[in-house]
Amino acid sequence: MVTANTRTLLLGRSEKRTKQWGIGAGILLVASLLYFSAVKAVDYPTIHLALWWEGYAVLLTVLVAVQAYSNGGLVVSWLLTFAAVVGLILNYGGIGLTEDGPGILQLIGLATVGGVIAAAIVGTLGFGIGTAVRRIAE
């Protein structure tokens, strides 16, 4: 049986905000796919370098911390991170290609595994920061 405290920890304090952040995760996936597709197609390194690994991870952590501050919800934090990283990896971001690129099934597998790992690390970190700041502010 799921208690109210467990539900709040996992899904957040407001069902409405949880749904809004869930829609935001879908938008983030599409935006990530489009952004990294454009960077790959245009091969424009100045934009690309601004939002590559370090910058992308920091922005993602800040976004997740804002979500955790506003509503909480560990699963929502993981979902936001997962969506953003899947969009990155599906554009071959972070895949060191020395020969031919992976096939579509391998690419989807890499994106899934990479998204789960990033969600566990960045999503949990951002959730912890946002929750801590909210508790301190209260």
Q: Tens of pLDDT along 32-46?
A: 888 877 777 776 666
73 band by pLDDT with thresholds 50, 70 and 90: confident
Residue 57 maps to a domain: yes
Residue 9 maps to a domain: no
Counted domains in the chain: 1
Helix (H, G, I), strand (E, B) or coil at 13: coil
- CA angle 71/73/74 to nearest 5° reads 145
Query: Rounded to an integer, what distance in angstroms lies between the CA atom of residue 125 and that of residue 65?
Result: 8
Mean pLDDT rounded to a whole number for the chain:
84
User: Mean of the pLDDT values across residues 72-99?
Assistant: 82
Q: CA end-to-end span of the chain, whole Å?
A: 29
72 band by pLDDT with thresholds 50, 70 and 90: confident
Residue 7 maps to a domain: no
17 band by pLDDT with thresholds 50, 70 and 90: confident
Could you tell me if 28 and 80 are in contact, meaning their C-beta atoms sit under 8 angstroms apart? yes
Answer positive or negative: Cα dihedral of 102, 107, 109, 115.
positive
